[in-house]
A and B are shown apart, each in its own frame.
Chain A
């Protein structure tokens, strides 16, 4: 694969992710149901990883995590690097060994990414001595339910980028 193609592909993914982060910041943060709003970033990492090369997706997940760590205040430094790298790794593994890459695979990987995000948050809060499993489950469940309708939109945004560079 050409270096230029690789660069432009991930550049387009980056721009699409930037657009989604803007929507998250301007719109989704205000759409609160039971005090919880949809949370797109893990879905972005998973949806890209589910249709691209595993190693590339792992690196992209880590870079995206770094950006999220810089623009959002994580519970610990590098939280999103860890979470999104793990998410990308899992999504890549599922796409290669379990489910054929496509819409269904993207939905499964995105839901898994939200679960991993919730699990990591719960683990770090427990480590800090804040153990409230029912509240953690409620937040994770709320995020899953509210973000689920947005997964097809992210898939529709990322799919043309994958197809555009598939032949090169």
Chain B
């Protein structure tokens, strides 16, 4: 065999070259596929298909692993983004609420330029059924003192500071039995006294006492602080008349008030640390 190739190798190479050249020429001049080319293609086709299938399978497997890893990375990134967005959303809601409170406060500041206000968060509500107080997170270090009035962002009266520490203070609300405020019927200018009542306290209402005999008070009348004596500012909204009643003796009348402020929903309040006394 070795001798055959050494003797006839040149001839064979020449023959193969000639065949190749002929096939090239035939292929170039003919418009269709050559017979040899066609035969070679038919023979190679299953092998090509098998090779393509294997390549595709390997490609699929590789791609799948890559996809899983990519998905895991994306999932992790999305989780982080979701957590960040949730946190931002929480912050945005909180900021939005604070913004609304401050906008309302701005209106109050514009209406009552004589007020010096100190914002404070409600840190604790009293657990007792016998009193109505709340603790604020600011005290004398911020200028808060006993006797200061506390309002919400709308300027509705919440109560009065009855204890003040360095960084805390206690507000006794309008509803507490120890609360007594000089009040004025906004519509008629009649002066009365708004006071907390034990039987009304737990239903979030208070009493308007010492009504004049000829009082023309009607349901829905707005009651504000009178400011008489200069101890509290005038014009702070206490509440609205809900009901007018006669006491057990039948001699005097009193009214039941619903406070305008929502005591159970308060988060932040504003302490009036200074105001102009109006004579």
Contact = CB atoms under 8 A, between A and B. Distances in A.
A157 to B, nearest CB: 18
Contact of B124 (A71, A135, A143): A71
A130 B125 contact: no
A55 interface: no
A73 B135 contact: yes
A97 interface: no
A29 B263 CA distance: 14
A73 B133 contact: yes
Given A24-B127, A36-B129, A75-B131, A130 B202 contact: no
A39 B170 CA distance: 21
A138 B199 contact: yes
A72 B127 contact: yes
A121 B129 CA distance: 10
A109 B170 CA distance: 32
B131 A73 contact: yes
A121 B177 contact: no
Nearest to B200: A135
B178 interface: yes
Given A35-B203, A128-B178, A143 B129 contact: yes
A42 B70 CA distance: 61
B126 interface: yes
Contacts of A134: 199
Interface in A70-93: 71-75
A101 interface: no
Q: Which of B129, B170, B204 has the most CB of A within 10 A?
A: B129
Interface string B182-225: 00000000000000011101111000000000000000000000
A101 B150 CA distance: 49
Interface string A137-156: 01100110000000000000
Interface in A7-43: 24-25, 28-29, 32, 34-37, 39, 41
Interface size class of A (residues with CB under 8 A): 20 to 34
A88 B65 CA distance: 71
A143 B131 CA distance: 14
Given A35-B203, A73-B163, A132-B197, A125 B177 contact: yes
Given A24-B127, A35-B203, A143-B129, A125 B198 contact: yes
A36 B202 contact: yes
A34 B202 contact: yes
B129 A142 contact: yes
A29 B127 contact: yes
B128 interface: yes
A94 interface: no
Contacts of A130: 177-178, 198
Contacts of B203: 34-35
Given A39-B129, A73-B131, A139 B202 contact: yes
B130 A73 contact: no
A25 B129 contact: no
A136 interface: yes
A77 to B, nearest CB: 10
B198 A136 contact: yes
A74 B162 CA distance: 12
B130 A139 contact: yes
A39 B129 CA distance: 8
A150 to B, nearest CB: 14
| Among all A-B residue pairs, the 4 with the closest Cβ atoms | A35-B202, A135-B199, A135-B198, A73-B133
15 contacts: A28-B127, A32-B202, A36-B129, A37-B127, A39-B128, A71-B124, A73-B135, A74-B128, A121-B130, A125-B130, A128-B177, A128-B178, A130-B177, A136-B198, A143-B129
Interface of B: 124-131, 133, 135, 163, 170, 172, 177-178, 197-199, 201-204
